[in-house]
Structure 1
């Protein structure tokens, strides 16, 4: 998870650092840059939270279980998993060349060259197939090539997320275009791709490993939005970066389902420690964040008024500082909207109940925490772990409000875990536990 970058953060294009360093940024330009990041972050959380209500209600009404969900069990493990991934990337960025050479020594058996020559050739990227076996492929496993693969993958995923969000727009246009010979809109044909595991003669005993459902409008939307991803791969412009980043944030907050309030508190508490440790106690977070040249953050130029659209010096905000608090705020939005009661069609139970304000108050708390993060970052001119300020605000405010309103028990015990699809082992455990209780 990337952290908020300081005002003098590295530009997206490393080659432009020298020219960017000579630019003097005014206070007004700084405020415009951080105000834009602020507005994008708040927009993504508000819209994503509203969309998450429809996402969960759709699953309830269609009696489908939610697959991508963070339960209490996953919330406990998430900070450790994230730490392992982060440290792995750090080792790869900082010691990748050394590890590559050592692996080369181990793999090398026989060949035209000596082991020392091959290791030297790996270091300067001139190793050839004469090294034998897997050895000829080692020079291709470099940081530069790995970053290209990561960039292409993230741009593709971002284009798909953007296409998902903009599909209603494309559908509205396609439904009005006279495309076929009779000047009528062409039918929106559905498609489905399944990867299953099981026996051919027992179709009922089949596990669906992957199930893709899409239609013609999806294909058109992805085709158009992929132009944004292709543009970013070739130009790395901050506008295409922000389009992909906002799409990631909106899609993540909508569909990365947080299953319970307890799980949300555990998740935020664990990531609070994770963020503070890796930013303040080590150089791991900053090394990884500045080493990945991919759309994993939002950025806005601080020298926009001086350099125009080709601005070089950017203020940055990591997507993790939007999505992680965002899925917690989305849970509060669903709590406010009484999603479980609406899904059960218990309309009479909704009448006459007091309004809830957890979503609104927590959004104010998030906005205040983000403002404090930007202020401290600007004063100390150093990267800050945004969750250090966002987690106490996003957790403390709804808990305090629930205590005042006498709803602390309802909020603390709020859970949607019964809507989550469980794996085979968990389902078997639940079945055994159910038999014992009966």
Structure 2
């Protein structure tokens, strides 16, 4: 989960480093069709520059010589290549030899078809000065698509539109990320505090909520070690393990979607009938029909995404819905009990991110970051699968990157979950100390500011930046500042403002007499010399006193001197519980 978190920063900045070498090949049919299609090409501007505006480029006939490699004069056709774009295969000679022969035959540009990874066609300075026509690489898969769509008689144009500084889809990602953190933190905090302060009877199996998991320092260390181990395994065995990650995501996201929709479905007035008595697993609890329909719906959505996950037109919508539901489910299930645990988790993952983004390039043969290689998918992967643990939105600006294997802007789940756990802790602490949610609001705003700083760093620094590098200091410093300002840092650090999970069955005896509170005062004054009614002992039912079962109880037949009614007890609040 945290292994894919750095995808947003690293992917966008990696794209910025090679944006000047990406171009677009516009293809139209010679038969007069008005509709064309764009394809990604990779070119070296040192050979010849491509124009930025398509309107300034002439459509030229594509001459298919892909059966040859154009390494000698024998590979040239009988007719010259005047005012045509030559299409040849890659291999057996240098790019300079190919483009020199094409230029000598009158070609206006050279396209080299490659079945391997696209690399910028290179040469030396003398060769660059000698060649005046552009040379670019086209993938073999795109060439097959061209012939399938348009046939072999096509017109083409090569151009390289400028890359925008930042795509507008980052606004959508920002809203989704901040909204998920705020909603997840609010929901998780409210759920835990409600569980602490109100002890309700379980009215049925549908009202049962899963217990949250308190994270301990040992669990944090084990979790980070597992993340490191899994990231390295993915780096070396990506093609085999990527399907394991996809399967885990399907299972977890369907569970998360069910958990998020269940409270709304329970309020619906129909399909309340229950399953008949049976001995089947889970069904023996007799769930309602509407909950079974909800489970079927969640599984169906997940299966549809799993089947069409590589469909770029609309599958990203399902992935974002499932991803947000997964994040909300994790924020509700995982709970950090103290600010000390929050600081430990965020600090360790901060170091983890920085190491795998900045340090690992010095340890790998390719010189690439392990985090970036795993998050974007290795270039030599035979499956061409991508890790699903990201929010993704298609690019809204016209850009070569939208064609060149980077059509989406991405944000990893780790950038949402890790700060979101701190936001949930702040909300729980807010309600306990009755601080009008100042911790929750401050931490959420700090998360949004940290995300904005991350986006600015993508533009200014022009290199991969792990988002936690900015999100962790922003959220931790904001929370600490509020605690210092309110003089509650000690309670905030240890979580001592929280009540215990399990309510006490009886009140602990006090060491000495406690001063009376206003709410503990009797409802009526007793006449002088007359003993007031004894205070009843509280019980487990939310502190209310139960009537005695026999007449000898001091609580039985106790009446107020002023009226015949029973005295109304007003128990004092339990220690550590806000009134």
TM-score (normalizing by structure 1): 0.65
Aligned to 2:334: 256
Aligned to 1:161: 256
Pairing partner for 1:287 from 370, 373, 389: 373
Alignment of 1:19 onto 2:155: no
- C-alpha distance in structure 1 between counterparts of 2:186 and 2:286, whole Å: 24
| Deviation of 1:162 (Å) | 1.1
Per-residue CA deviation, residues 319-357 of structure 1 (Å, 9 max, x unaligned), is 00100110111000100011xxxxxxxxxxx7xx65451
| Deviation of 1:251 (Å) | 1.1
Alignment of 1:92 onto 2:263: no
- C-alpha distance in structure 1 between counterparts of 2:180 and 2:408, whole Å: 20
Q: Is the 8 A contact 1:33 1:315 kept in 2?
A: yes
Aligned to 1:40: 176
| Cα distance change of structure 1 residues 169 and 312 upon mapping to structure 2, 3 Å threshold | farther
SS in 2 for 1:337: helix
Structure 1 stretch displaced more, 186-195 or 277-286: 186-195
| Cα distance change of structure 1 residues 218 and 80 upon mapping to structure 2, 3 Å threshold | same
Q: Is the 8 A contact 2:272 2:288 kept in 1?
A: no
- C-alpha distance in structure 2 between counterparts of 1:169 and 1:376, whole Å: 40
Aligned to 2:344: 266
Pairing partner for 1:70 from 204, 215, 222: 215
| Cα distance change of structure 1 residues 75 and 156 upon mapping to structure 2, 3 Å threshold | closer
- C-alpha distance in structure 2 between counterparts of 1:324 and 1:55, whole Å: 19
Pairing partner for 2:431 from 337, 352, 357: 337
| Deviation of 1:172 (Å) | 4.1
- C-alpha distance in structure 1 between counterparts of 2:499 and 2:340, whole Å: 11
- C-alpha distance in structure 2 between counterparts of 1:192 and 1:393, whole Å: 53
Aligned residues: 326
| Deviation of 1:21 (Å) | 6.5
Correspondence list, 1:35-434, <5 A: 35-57=171-193, 59-60=195-196, 61=199, 66-93=211-238, 143-144=239-240, 146-173=241-268, 175-176=269-270, 185-189=271-275, 215-236=288-309, 237-282=315-360, 283-291=369-377, 293-303=386-396, 313-338=407-432, 355-414=436-495, 419=501
| Deviation of 1:230 (Å) | 2.0
- C-alpha distance in structure 2 between counterparts of 1:76 and 1:403, whole Å: 28
Aligned to 1:105: none
Higher-Rg member (1/2): 2
Structure 1 stretch displaced more, 161-170 or 387-396: 161-170
Q: Is the 8 A contact 1:7 1:314 kept in 2?
A: no
| Deviation of 1:32 (Å) | 2.0
| Deviation of 1:418 (Å) | 5.6
TM-score (normalizing by structure 2): 0.50
Q: Is the 8 A contact 1:300 1:315 kept in 2?
A: yes
| Cα distance change of structure 1 residues 324 and 24 upon mapping to structure 2, 3 Å threshold | farther
Unaligned 5+ segments in structure 2 are 16-23, 25-37, 43-159, 202-208, 310-314, 361-368, 378-384, 503-579
- C-alpha distance in structure 1 between counterparts of 2:450 and 2:347, whole Å: 15
| Deviation of 1:360 (Å) | 0.7
- C-alpha distance in structure 1 between counterparts of 2:256 and 2:286, whole Å: 15
Q: Is the 8 A contact 2:167 2:396 kept in 1?
A: no
Per-residue CA deviation, residues 170-198 of structure 1 (Å, 9 max, x unaligned), is 3444x33xxxxxxxx45144999779xxx
Q: Is the 8 A contact 2:181 2:423 kept in 1?
A: yes
| Cα distance change of structure 1 residues 24 and 296 upon mapping to structure 2, 3 Å threshold | farther
Q: Is the 8 A contact 1:244 1:295 kept in 2?
A: no
- C-alpha distance in structure 2 between counterparts of 1:213 and 1:71, whole Å: 35
Unaligned 5+ segments in structure 1 are 11-15, 94-142, 177-184, 196-210, 339-349, 421-438
| Cα distance change of structure 1 residues 48 and 354 upon mapping to structure 2, 3 Å threshold | closer
- C-alpha distance in structure 1 between counterparts of 2:451 and 2:230, whole Å: 26
Structure with more helix by fraction: 1
- C-alpha distance in structure 2 between counterparts of 1:328 and 1:358, whole Å: 10
Per-residue CA deviation, residues 128-172 of structure 1 (Å, 9 max, x unaligned), is xxxxxxxxxxxxxxx25x433432331232122112212234344
- Looking at both structures, which has the greater relative contact order when contacts are Cα pairs under 8 Å and sequence separation is at least 6? 1
